[in-house]
Structure 1
Amino acid sequence: MNDESRITLRLPADLHAWLVAQAKSSRRSLNSEIVYRLEVERDAAGADAESP
């Protein structure tokens, strides 16, 4: 089982609304949308770090 951490996150209202809309269009929960986007960014940053 994966270890998980719980956090409280404060977002500007417009960013929250945008994330909710993105999650709905992707048929994901808000939490899943945030995790998905963070993982995509992490993977992209890791790929950039490995490039010469």
Structure 2
Amino acid sequence: MVKLNLRLPDDLHALVRTQAAADRRSLNAEILHLIEIGLATVTPETPDSPDGDPRRP
């Protein structure tokens, strides 16, 4: 497992901490969950393109 130091703005930290408590997860588990959800919504064909055109960022 990789250790990572992450800097978050205070307001984002508070938001994630609140969501973690609501979901009964640790802060670390909540961050991992949110990353997994975010990555699941990105398709391999168009990872950086909001409109589906891989030629346009």
User: Do they fold alike, i.e. is TM over 0.5?
Assistant: yes
TM-score (norm 1): 0.80
- Alignment RMSD (CA, Å): 1.8
Larger radius of gyration: 2
Structure 1: stretches of 5+ with no match in the other structure: none
Residue among 19, 23, 32 paired with 2:29: 32
Structure 2: stretches of 5+ with no match in the other structure: 47-51, 53-57
Length, aligned pairs only:
47
Sequence identity, in percent?
Answer: 38
> Using CA pairs below 8 Å that are at least 6 residues apart, which structure has the higher relative contact order?
1
Q: 1 or 2, which has the higher helix percentage?
A: 1
